[in-house]
With several copies, the nearest count.
Chain A
Amino acid sequence: MNYREARQQVVDKNKGARDKRTTLTEAVAMIRDGDEIAVGGLLYTRTPMGIIWEIIRQRKKDLTFYKTLLSFEGDWLFVSGAMRKAVTSWFSGGVTWGVSKWSLLGLSLRFRAGAMGIPCIPTKSMLGSDLETSAGLKRFQCPYSGEELLLVPAVNPDVAIIHAHAADMYGNAQIFGPPCMDGEIARAANKVILTTEQLVDNEHIRDNPNTTTIPFFCVDAVIELPFGCYPHECYGVYEPAYAHLGDYGEGLLKAEDKTAFVRDYLENYFYKPADFEDYLSLFGVKSLLETTRKGRIWRL
C-alpha cells in the first residue's frame, strides 16, 4: 500500500463514533481478495481466530498476512488458499512455507512506522545479518551522530484484525495484559475489524480510559465474540486448549501428507460448523471451562 494512498484512505473514511456492531459475516465481507491483513496478538496469544475462521470460510484469496509470530493458523491460512504470502519473524507450522525474513523488532517497527504516519524508521537491529539482505533493506547514516542504521519500510495494511478483552459499540477497545502490537496495527491499518470477549457500555470505557489500547476512530466493525481466540488464548480469560493443540501438532507431525491433514482439519473445524458457536461446540463445554479455569493466570 502506497504511503500517500494509505493516508488518503484514512482521511476519507467516516471516523465518527457510530454504532459499528455487526456480524462476523458482514465484517469479513469488507476484506477483498488480494488485501494485506495485519493480525493482532502474538504466536498463540490473543489471535483473532474467529475472524481468521470466517476469512477461510468466505474463501478469500491471495491475501498477504502480517503477523509478528505465526502459529498453526499460518498453516490453516496457507492450505485454505486464503494466504498467498506471510510476512513474519517466526513461523513454525507443519506445511511448506517461505523463510521468515524479519526480526521481531524489525517487523514491529514496520507496524509502528505505519501507525506513526511515516514511511520508514531507523533501527540498529538486523545490521550485518542475512535478514538485512534477504529483506532488501536500505542503510542510512544518521546526519547528527554519524551512526550507520537500517531503515525498515512502514506497513499500512488494508485491514487489521484484532481481538480485545472489551470494546464498546463505537470500537473503543481495551486489552488486559500485553497489548502485543495491536495498538500499532490498528493505527497503521486503513480499516480495523475488531472482535471482543465482551461488549461494554461506553461509560465503562470512560471509567477506565487508561486501558483503552485502540480508540474508536480507527475501528470499522465490532463483533462480540466470546472465546473468539479459541483454541488460542485470551490473556487472563482462558488459556490455550493445550490438549487440542497438542493432539493437532502430533497428528500433523505424524501425517505423511501434511497438506491433506490440514485440509481435513479445515473441513471439520472450519467449513462444516454452521456458525462460530457450532465451532466452539466441537471443543465442548469441558474444554471451555477448563481453559477458563486455568486462564485466570493473574491470580493463580
Chain B
Amino acid sequence: MTDYNPAELTVVIGSRSLQDGQIVFVGAGLPLLAAVHAQHLHAPTLSILFEVGGVAPQVRIGSLPRSTNEARSVRRSVATPATIDMMLFLQRGLVDVGFLGGAQVDKHGNLNSSVIGTLEKPSVRLPGSGGANDIASSANKVFIISYHERRRFVEKVDFLTSPGFLDGGRSRENEGLLGGGVEKVITNLGILEFDKETREMKLVAVHPGVSVKEVQEKTGFELLIADDLQVTTPPSAEELTLLRALDPERRFLKAGEF
C-alpha cells in the first residue's frame, strides 16, 4: 500500500513516536491527528492537553477542531483549567511531549513563528508564539512536524520565537531552560534528530524513495547524516485506514505542502 501522501506519512510517524500513558500538548492539524491516531491504534491512555483549557478531551472523530482554542477541543475533558494553569503544567514538568511547527526551523531546532526578515523591516509578519515558546521551553521533550523545504530549514532563524538548542552545545542548559528540547523533527522527507554534543541537526531516517541528496538539497544548512541511517517503514494499511477515518474531509491531510 503505497498511495499515501506526505502529510499522511508524517502523521503516521508522529503517531508512532508517541507512547501509551504520555501527556501530550498538541496544536491543531497534523499534531492533533497524530495524537488521536496514536490513541486509537496503540496508546489508549495517551492524554491530550490544549492551551484553551481542556485536559484529556475526547475529540470527536469527523468533527476535529479547526483550532486548538475552541469548544470542540475541550469536548468531554476531565478538567477545564484556566489557560495559565494549562501552560504551567509545562513549567512544572507534567507534560511529556509537546508538538510544534514553525515557518522556519534552524540547525539547532530553534523555531520562528513571529516574523520573516527583521523586527524593524519584516517581509512577512507571522502570528507569533501563542503557546509555542512555552512548549519549547518547558515540555519534557518536543517533536517538530514540518514540511521540508529550503526556505523553512535555515541556518539560523530570523527571529527565535521558540528555543531548540539555541546556539548548540550546552547553550540551552546555560540559559536555565527546563525542558529537554527537541528530540525529533518529522518531515515529509525523513526524520531528524540532534547530535548529542554539538546539537546540530542529523538525518537519522529517510522515507521510502527519498534520497539523502534530496533531503540535503531541501535543507538550507549542512546536515549531519547518521552512520546507521534508516529507511522509514511505510504506513501500514491499518495505519492509513484509521488516519483517513479521522479526517474524512481531508481538511488537514491535503496532498501538497502542509
Contact = CB atoms under 8 A, between A and B. Distances in A.
Whether chain A touches chain B in the assembled complex (some CB pair under 8 Å): yes
Interface residues of B, number: 70
Interface of B: 20-23, 45-47, 51-56, 58, 60, 63, 66-67, 69-72, 74-84, 87-94, 96, 114-115, 119, 122, 125, 127-134, 137-138, 140, 159-163, 166, 171-172, 175-178
A206 B131 CA distance: 25
Given A7-B178, A115-B92, A117-B91, A179 B131 contact: no
A16 to B, nearest CB: 3
Contacts, number: 251
Interface residues of A, number: 83
Contacts of B46: 16
Interface string A221-236: 0000000000001011
A215 B78 contact: yes
A126 interface: yes
Given A15-B23, A216-B78, A45 B84 contact: no
Given A205-B78, A215-B78, A297-B75, A103 B129 contact: yes
Contacts of A124: 91, 137-138, 176-178
5 contacts: A16-B46, A69-B130, A127-B137, A130-B160, A217-B89
Q: Which 8 A-B pairs have the closest CB atoms?
A: A100-B128, A16-B21, A178-B53, A117-B91, A128-B175, A117-B92, A212-B79, A148-B176
Interface stretch (A28-36, A181-189, A250-258, A269-277): A181-189
A239 B138 contact: no
Nearest to A300: B60
A148 B172 CA distance: 12
B23 A217 contact: yes
Given A11-B93, A127-B137, A184-B82, A116 B88 contact: yes
A43 B67 CA distance: 9
A124 B136 CA distance: 11
A236 B51 CA distance: 18
Interface stretch (A77-85, A91-99, A157-165, A278-286): A91-99
